[in-house]
Every structure is written in structure tokens, then in C-alpha cells.
Structure 1
Amino acid sequence: MTNVVPLQHGAGDGSTLSIPIEGMTCASCVSHVEKAVAKLPDVAKVSVNLATERADVAFTGKPDAAAVVRAVEGAGYGVPEITAEFGVAGMTCASCVAHVEKAVNAVPGVNAATVNLATERVSVRYLAGVASLEDLEAAIRGAGYEPHRIGGDDAATEREREAREREMNGLRRSLLVAAVLTLPVFVIEMGSHLVPAINDIVMNTIGMQTSWLIQFVLTTAVLFGPGRIFFKRGVPAMLRGTPDMNSLVMVGTAAAWGYSVVATFAPQVLPAGTANVYYEAAAVIVTLILLGRYLEAKAKGRTSEAIKRLVGLQPKTARVERDC
């Protein structure tokens, strides 16, 4: 891979891009490239080195790698382009896709980035020597997601499969714990509303205040046990100004839980007749979202395996008959 030359601060507020160029053969080629790039706005200086086949472009403002590439290609020369593919962990919705694409496309030297939510992968076309794999990984991490490089060897394929299995097993465990803790909360609260007999049993045995305390303990365990993943991912996304589905779940469940906590332990601060609890809403939301995540992970795993089987069907060799 071509050596990476990062953006460097130059004179004034501008920066310098070092871009590799293909097809130059003489001093005339150098002159053509320099003239073409020098016409771009915000370009302060252009220096093309025939020996290294690179163009150093100093800008007065923000560097525009795409404009330089267009100018070079317009002069009849080429800029090497590389296609890379990354796996991206942590994406859950279309908003996540948009965040990753925006972050990667913002890297200087990236021509295009396409994210596939189903396969949890991002395909990137970028300029050799301007952007690097490390730059792309840093951009993905900066957006709040975890990248991993896709390899073509069996070891890389096995690592990817193991990662999917770990994710699925973790979701299964979280779902089971959340369901076990949520069921009593749902029965105590919603059962009392729907079935008079359940309400009579609760009121004649533990009483309303004790039932609220039990719901508080169980719901807190759900939110900050299996449901902590929504807070772990949702809060940073909110702070970055790029809320996603995790942020939505976090805000909804925290609001229901927080209001219920006030109604349980400090009902006097609420208007008369409004001291009600909604623990079951917070617990059920977390459980249902975890169920959806688990089913989604299973579907993604099956999709990935199906694609691999289809790829495996392609012939390894072909027989060509000529002059038949």
C-alpha cells in the first residue's frame, strides 16, 4: 500500500495534501498537472514531483481532495483508488447507517462509502496515499461504532463467525434475564388492572406500596442489567449530537422509570392524583427491544451464511474452447 502522507498544517490557516498520480512520463506532464490543479479555488501552491509521482497541494482553506482528483483526471492522468471493506459492530437502525456513512465520507481522500446494515459492513473507495485504513477505522470509532477488518482467509472468516455467535449468545442471555425479571412486574401491575382477582390478592397480601417497591427493584435490575447496553450506546450518541435507536430506548425507559421512582419515594412533590408508577412500561420496552435484537442477529447470521454458500458455488476453474 502507498505510504500515507497525512494532512499537514502549512502557511496561514490552510493545509497540504500529498496525492499520488499515475501516468506522468516527463516534465510536460508535470506542467500540465500543476496548471490544472492551480486553477482550483483555495489552492495556494502546487508542487509536482515526477520522481515520486506525487503532487503536494497547499490550500488557503479546507483541503478538497475530490476537487484535486477531478482536476488531475481532467488533465489526462489518474489517481490510484483503493476499495476496502470493514465489518462494523453496533449498528442497529438506518440512523446508524447514516452516521457511519457521514463519518467515513468526511475523511479526506474518501470518494464513496456504502454501508449495508444487513451484513454489518461498509465498503469504502478512497485515494491511495491520502486516506488510510487507520483513518477510516478512526472515523468509524469516532461515530460510536467498532470496526474490524475483513480478511479473505479462513481464519478471518472464522473470527467473524465467532464474533456473531458471541453477540447472539450475549443477546440470548440478556433476553432471558430481562424476561424473567419483567414477568413479575407485568403481572403485578397490568394484571391488577386487567384481572380484579389479581388486584385483590396484591392489595390483601403485600399492599400497593410494597408492590411498587418490588417493581422498583426488578425494573432497576432490568434497566441497569440487560438494558445497560442502551445506556452505554445511547448516552454517548446523544452527547455527540447523533441520537440513534439506543438513545430513543434510553430516553423512553429512563423517563418511565424516573417518574415511577419519584411517585414511589417522593409522591408529595407530584400534583394530587398523579402519583402513579410505570415500571412495567420501562421493563417491557427493554425486553421487547432485546427480543427484536436477538431475532435480528439470528437473521443476519443466516443471511451471512447464505451469502457464503452462494459464493462457494462459483467454479474455481473454467475450461475455454477456442477455434471450435
Structure 2
Amino acid sequence: MATLTKGKVTKSTFPVEGMSCASCASSIESMLRAREGVQEANVNFAGKTLQVAYEPQTVTPVQLRETVQEIGFDILIEKKTQEELEERQAAALNNLKRKTLIAVVLALPVFILGMFFHGTFAWGNWAMLVLTAPILLWAGQRFFVGAWAQAKYFRANMDTLVALSTGIAFLFSLFNTVYPEFFLSRGLLPHVYYEAVAVIIAFILLGKYLEENAKDRSSSAIKKLMGLQPKTVRVLRDQSELEIKIEEVQVGDKVLLLPGDRVPVDGEVVSGTTYVDESMLSGEPLPVQKQPGDLLYAGTINQKGSLQLVARKTGGETMLAHIIRLVQEAQGSKAPVQKLVDKIAGIFVPIVLAIALLTFVVWIVFGGEAYLSEALLSMISVLVIACPCALGLATPTAIMVGVGRGAENGILIKDAESLEGAHKADAVILDKTGTITLGKPSVTDAVWADETVEQEHLEKLFFSMEAQSEHPIAQAIYTFYKEKGQQALQPTYFNSLTGLGVEADFDGVRYFSGNEKLLRQQHIPTPDHLLQAARQLQEMAKTVIFFADATKALAVFAVSDPVKPASAEGIKAMQDAGLDVYMLTGDNKQTAAAVAKQVGVAHYQAELLPNDKAAFVKQLQSEGKVVAMVGDGINDAQALATADVSIAMGQGTDIAMEVANITLMRSDLRHVAGAVKLSRATVQTIHQNLFWAFFYNIICIPVAAGLLYPFTGFLLSPMVAGAAMALSSVSVVGNSLRLRSKKL
């Protein structure tokens, strides 16, 4: 169970037990939404989870569970580990497997007797009754229990269809076995349909077993992530080394790591040096050196050295837990198309019941000599074949596999709506710094307007101003001078000028540090030779920072932020995917042009403020484009929020990742095209699933009702109907599983 509390509303995810079709999910949702204190309830039929937002002061998890139990289902409100949940699921699957095997073994002789030796043996009907009864009353008990729970609230689901069809057939057969004279005295044969009852239940159970097996594979991504965390940890307490469970680790504990150990918590290295495999976070195959002061993340692998770290985040607070939570929430969320499917599923079963009743009446009125038998068989076939399982599985299985496939490739998708929406994108906007470039700029040049000035003192003032700023360029300058041993002074006044630079006062003198636009705005003259030097540096794809006082420009500094090795390849992949690529930056035009040329971007805008980036997004949207924005910083947050699809680089700021629909754990632009391809493939799979689910019902229900009988004499057997229904569900899940092999 996962829980997140915001304000007075708690959002929790609970495992659900007992669901058999999409109508079950719809029933749970509608019952919970009608409960006071529940703001939202969404059931993922494929994932067997319930996401509910509720007011804890009004309704408790126990009351939520009671509401669900009233209609024949259950939710697990007790906190369970992944291993415990898997054990419960495995036990339920084994129980289903056992019932399926016994049902198949018992159904086989019933089928042979009913189809090939019907009427041959006087005791044949009694033998079939004895063999069919345990199939119906034990193996198929779940259908009748579920149908009764629904009927108490005037609801219906798949259990209703199966229980009605097999129950009616069994009672009719039982009557004709015990009292055959009733029909014989009227000149009619007392038909029995034990073989239909036995085979229908056996086929449906077999289909359910295969379906559950396939759905279990669709959630393999979560299991892989869960497996990245060790079960036990070695800690140092009171100078003693202890081995404790992962759940018992506390913030501040000293954790001991040996070569080959998985890092159990997020923490800081306090002693030792090693190399750590962080590929599960960054995707980079090369190990990263770690030494005292460096951070380690849960799930990564210590390769060579032994070390100690202090636990900073444990349990549900670690980066790994955050990733798992994101994937679980995304897999449990609903795509917009699912809302329409849910509405259809909610009324589908009542419509099928009406069609089945109409079928029976039509056959009674217009049927031939065996009208009663044909009416009964046709009604049963309609009830069996029309189960909405395939319809309910069409969207969530594709979403689960798609989200899981993304997570395995370092693409974290916020929810199903984000996954579905990304396939419409036809334009991609890229921020330059930290997105196309490494985001690790360094100072390469310094040109002074007057070589005779007291450079050492002015450099200290310049360093002190940049020390106050959090901009990546400012941090590069700060690092450059800090490594030289420079000491910062405290300004009497400091102000950050968004998109321009900074200003500060030292000893009553005003100084400025920023771009050329800042100097123009402040009417500060710049010597020609300084401007010429700035142009030459910009043509080399370097970012230029001017340093000035209130009367004149004093110096120009060049900062180089190298382009990421994979940026050009990633942009080419986007273009090959049919996306128009734009680069936006607050940097100067010359640097922007040089970087754009280097990575192959034809469209770019420079010297933009954060609101200018958002305005450019709106401009493209007004032209009819569906815009994806890729960024990594606070200055990108506004544009990310404005875009149709927002993609954050995983090494960016928390605010960018919070706003984003999709987060790339690897700051690699090749995965932008991968995310779009994944979205397109998932949506295509959903459409395929829905097409076949609807097509199956549109074609099969009339055939089951006997539409072809007047023309061809063909009447669908209830046994074939049961097999077709089971096959439809398995085929939908199987089609979704093809996403696992999709190349991104």
C-alpha cells in the first residue's frame, strides 16, 4: 500500500482482490465515489490496484474496505511488503491453477459422454451430473458468489453472465435428469447440457489463468525495480557491526558496504573510495568514482572498494522508492480513452442481459421443433461470449507494459494521460544549457578593457557577485575562482535580474555582471575592442559575461559549456521521427547559432527570458502544433508547464521534474525520441486492442444469438463461445506484451 498526504486529502493505492472483469472495476469505483469523504477512485483492472483520494477525517481505510467488501471484492489496507503481496498473488494463482486443472480433468469425460455417447447409456445423464456438479459448485463457485454480491445492489458483471448461463443450463439439465417424463409426455426430448456447463467453466477458468499469468508479466518492471534493494544491511552501532533488515535502518546510521553490495539507502560517503555502477539511474555503463563527501543512491552497485556511508534517506524517501512510486502511480492511472471504455463497460453487461433475453424470446416465438433447446443454447452462448474482459484489459495492460518498458529504459512517465498524449507531439523545444550542453560550464577566457586596472581587486568583486547567484554560469565562475583560493566579499546590496544577470554594491559603488543586453539596458558603454573579443568568443560557441561598473564595461569573461556527445544524434533521431526541433536559450545569438549549427538544429531563438520561452510555446500552439518542451532548470518551469508535453532531464532541478509529464533519468536527448516512439507504440497497441475487443463483440454476439441460422443452419455452441471469450482476453494481453520488445 502506497500513501501520499497533501493538505487534508490522502491519496492511497491499495491492492484489490476478487475482480474478474472491467465491470467489477466500474462497480468498485462507483460505490466508493458515492461514499462521503471520497474525492476520487480509480481501479486498474489489469494491475489489480485501487487509487483513491479521500478525506481521512471523514472516511477511514477500514470503511473503504467495508464498502468494497459489500459488493463481493476486497482491498488490502494493511501495509504489505512486495514479497508478501507476491506470495498472496502466487497463492491465488496456484488456487486458480488447481481449480482449472480439476475442472478440465472432470470436463473431459463429460464432454465425451455428451458429444459422442449421448443417449447411449441409461446412466449417462447421472454420470455427467455427478462430474459436472463439483465443476459448477466448487471450481466455478467464484462466479456465483460474485454474481450474488452484485445482484444485491442491482448490479451485474462478468460473474453475472457466467453464473446465469451455466446456472440455467445446469438447472435445466438437472430437471430433465430427475424428471424426464415432463418433456417426454409432451412429445419433446429432455435434453441435457452438462457438457456445455462443464466446458464453459473449464474454458473460462483456463482463460483466466492464462490471463493472470500474462498480466503478471506486464508488471515485471516494478518487480525488477523492487529487486534492486537488498533485504538486509550491515550497520555500525555503538562500535559494533550488526546485520539488520532494510526496514530497520534509520537516518544517521553508518552503513558498511563491501565490493559487490547493492547500496541499500541514499547516503553520503564518510570513509573509503570506490567505483559505483549507477546505470540504473543514469544509464551510463561506466562506473563512477566515489569518495568522502559524495552521494550514493539506493539500488546502485558498489564495485571495488569498501566504504562507510551515513544514511540520509531510507525506505520510501530514497530515489529508488521515488522511481518505484512514480511507475506504480503511472501504471495505475487511466488514459483519457479509458474513461470512455469504462462508461461502455458499465452499461455493457445490462445490455448483454437484455440481448440474451431477447434472443430467448425470439427463438421461442420463431424457432422450429427444437425451439426450446435452441432458445436456451443461443441465450447461453450470448451470455458467455459477451464477457467484457477483453474490453477492460485493452487499455490498462498496454499502459502497464508501456510505462514499465519506459522505466526499464530510464524514461519515467508521470501518468497514463502523459503517455497517451506524447504520441501527438509534432514539435520539440529544447533548452540549451543542461539539455543540449552538459550543463557544467567552465571559465576559459578573461579579457580586460584596461590592462592597467587593479585586476585582483576587481576579480574579487566579480567573484563575490557570482557567488550570490545560483545560475549555472555563475556557478562556473564561482568554482573557477574558488579553486584559485579567492575569498568572497559580502555586498551591501545584491539583486538578481532575471534573464540579464546580477547587480551589487560594494563600498557605495554599483557593479553589474551579465549579458550584453544588461549593459545596453543600463546605458553602459563598451569599448570596441572588448566587443570584438566578445564576438570572437561567441563564434567559438562560448557564453560571454560582461563585468562593468555604472560608467563603463571593465571586462568580458568566456564560459564554455560543451555539447553533450549524444545531443546531435538525439536531435537527428527526433527529426527522423517527424518532429520539428527548436532550440531556445537565454544566451546570446552568436553562441546560440554556433551550438545550433554544431548539433543540427535549424530553428533557434536566443536572448530569451523565461516568459519569452513560454510565449514561444504558445506561439507554436497557435499555429496548430502539439508542443513537447524539454528542459532541466527553474527557468524552464514556466515553458514546461505551458507545453502540451513536458519532458525534464533527470539531472535537472526538482521543480522541472515536478512540472514534467515525462522525466528522463539519463540526461540523453536520444531518449526524447524514445519517449515519443514509446507513446506512439502504446497508443497504437491500445487502438488495436480496443478495435479487436469491440469487433469481437459486434461480430460474435449476433452470431451467438443465431443470426446466421436462417441462412446457413449454423448455431454457435456455448462451448465454442466459452473458448472464444477466453481467447479474446488472452490475445489482448498478449498483444500488449509485444511492447516489451519494442526498440526505443
* 2:216 corresponds to which of 301, 309, 313: 301
> Which residue number corresponds to residue 134 of structure 1?
62
- Listed as ranges, the matches of 1:280-299 within 5 Å are 280-299=195-214
Instruction: Work out the CA distance in 2 between the residues paired with 1:308 and 1:105.
Output: 30
Structure 1 residue 305: Cα displacement: 2.8
AA partner of residue 17 (structure 2): A
Q: What residue number does 1:115 align with?
A: 43
Is the partner of 1:123 in helix, strand or coil? strand
Written as runs of structure 1 = structure 2, the 5 A alignment for 1:44-59 is none
Contact 2:70–2:149 (CA under 8 A) maintained in structure 1: no
- Paired residue for 1:158, among 70, 77, 83? 83
Across the aligned residues of Structure 1 and Structure 2, the Cα RMSD in angstroms comes to 2.5
Q: Aligned residue for 1:180?
A: 105
For residues 197-222 of structure 1, the C-alpha deviation after alignment (integer angstroms, 9 at most, x for no partner) is: xx7xx73xxx2x21111111111121
Report the residue type matching 1:87 in the other structure.
Answer: P
Q: CA deviation at 1:150?
A: 6.8
User: Alpha-carbon deviation of 1:225?
Assistant: 2.2
2:31 aligned with 1:103: yes
The DSSP-based 3-state class of the residue aligned with 1:213 is helix
Give, in whole Å, the separation in 2 of the partners of 1:309 and 1:107.
36
* Structure 1 unmatched runs, 5+: 1-77, 193-198
Instruction: Please point out which of 167, 187, 190 is paired with 1:275.
Output: 190
Q: Which amino acid aligns with 1:94?
A: A
Deviations 1:254-294 (A, max 9, x none): 11111111111111223422311111000011101110111
Whose Rg is larger?
2
Give matches, 1:1-324, under 5 Å.
80-149=8-77, 151=79, 156-192=81-117, 203=120, 207=121, 209-270=122-183, 271-309=186-224, 313-314=280-281, 316=297, 323-324=475-476
8 Å CA contact retained: 1:88, 1:120:
yes
* Counterpart residue type for residue 175 of structure 2: V
CA distance in 1, matches of 2:23, 2:136: 23
Aligned partner letter, 1:175: T
Q: Matches of 2:53 and 2:208 in 1, distance apart?
A: 30
Q: Is the 8 A contact 1:164 1:301 kept in 2?
A: no
Q: Do the aligned partners of residues 130 and 191 (structure 1) sit closer, same or farther apart at CA in structure 2, a change above 3 Å counting?
A: same
Distance 1:139 1:221 in 2: 31
Q: In the alignment, which residue of structure 2 is the partner of 1:34?
A: none
**CA distance, structure 2, for counterparts of residue 92 and residue 133 of structure 1:** 23
Shift of 1:236: 2.4
Q: CA deviation at 1:143?
A: 2.5
- In 1, Cα distance between the equivalents of 2:132 and 2:66? 37
**Rounded Cα–Cα distance in structure 1 between residues aligned with 2:204 and 2:146:** 14
Q: Note if contact 1:212-1:264 (Cα within 8 Å) is conserved in structure 2.
A: yes
Structure 2 equivalent of residue 18 of structure 1: none
- What is the CA distance between 1:136 and its match in structure 2? 1.6
Q: What one-letter code is carried by the residue in structure 2 that aligns with 1:254?
A: G
CA distance in 1, matches of 2:217, 2:18: 18
Distance 2:74 2:224 in 1: 26
How many Å apart are 1:302 and its aligned residue? 1.7
Q: Which amino acid aligns with 1:86?
A: F
CA contact (8 A) 2:72 2:145 kept: no
Partners of 1:287 and 1:98 lie apart in 2 by 26
What is the DSSP-based 3-state SS (H/G/I as helix, E as strand, rest coil) of the residue aligned with 1:122?
strand
**8 Å contact from structure 2 (residues 62, 77) kept in 1:** no
Output the TM-score relative to the length of structure 2. Answer: 0.30
Alpha-carbon contact 1:85-1:150 (below 8 Å) kept: no
1:15-47 CA distances to partner (integer Å, 9 max, x unpaired)? xxxxxxxxxxxxxxxxxxxxxxxxxxxxxxxxx
1:310 Cα deviation from its structure 2 partner: 5.1
Distance in 2 (CA, whole Å) between partners of 1:231 and 1:84 is 30
Structure 2 gap ranges (5+): 1-5, 229-279, 283-296, 299-318, 320-438, 441-471, 477-744
**For residues 114 and 314 of structure 1, what CA distance do their matches in structure 2 show?**
30
2:192 counterpart SS class: coil
Q: Secondary structure at the match of 1:101?
A: helix
Distance (whole Å) between structure 2 residues aligned to residue 237 and residue 308 of structure 1: 33
Counting matched residue pairs gives: 232
Q: 1:135 to 1:225 in 2, by over 3 A?
A: closer
**CA distance 1:249–1:116, change in 2 (3 Å):** same
What letter is aligned with 1:291? L
The CA deviation at 1:124 is 0.9
Matched residue SS, 2:36: coil
Between 1:137-146 and 1:169-178, the stretch displaced more is 137-146
For 1:91 and 1:177, locate their aligned partners in 2 and report how far apart those are by CA, in whole Å: 22
Please state whether the residue corresponding to 1:119 is helix, strand or coil: coil
